[in-house]
Amino acid sequence: MSKLIDTSELDWQAVRPELTSGVSGKLLCDGATKIVLTRVVPGGFFPPHRDKYSHLFHFLSGAGVVLLGEQRIDVGPGICLQIDAGELHGYENNGKEDLLLISVNLSLG
């Protein structure tokens, strides 16, 4: 079923608060594919971890750093990263404004 989502009407919800600091999201789609508009406040972070599903991160605004395996990658608007299931990854906002990204989580199981 098609639907229109006005993201301005959705509340920001803490994303995995047991692990993160300053990371919140607005759930856009839930199911085998989960899509979240994610906000990371300045100084906020998602520590390095591994997931059983793959990700696609598309950065919309702000500045940050992604840890991908042993690499540290500077990210900002227009950068898109594909992360395989089981790969070590994390991110942090090292800028002065919110870091916004679309996070797509794809479960193949």
The number of helices, as runs of H, and strands, as runs of E, in the chain is 0, 9
Tens digit of each residue's pLDDT (9 = 90 or more) over 40-99:
999 999 999 999 999 999 999 999 999 999 999 999 999 999 999 999 999 999 999 999
Q: What's the mean pLDDT when you consider all of the chain? A: 95
| Mean pLDDT in residue range 2-28 | 95
Domain locations along the chain: 28-106
Between CA 108 and CA 10 the distance in angstroms is 28
- The whole-number average pLDDT for the span 18-24 is 97
Pick the CATH number of 28-106 from 3.40.1010.10, 2.60.120.10, 2.30.38.10, 3.30.56.10: 2.60.120.10
More confident residue, 19 or 1: 19
Q: How confident is the model at residue 107 (pLDDT cuts 50, 70, 90)?
A: confident
What is the pTM for the complete model shown? 0.93
Which neighbouring-strand residues pair with 28? none
Q: What is the DSSP letter of 1?
A: -
Burial letters 56-93, b for 16+ CB under 10 A, else e: bbebbebbbbbbbeeeeeebeeeeebebeeeeebbbbb
Q: Over 80: is that where the pLDDT of 20 sits? A: yes
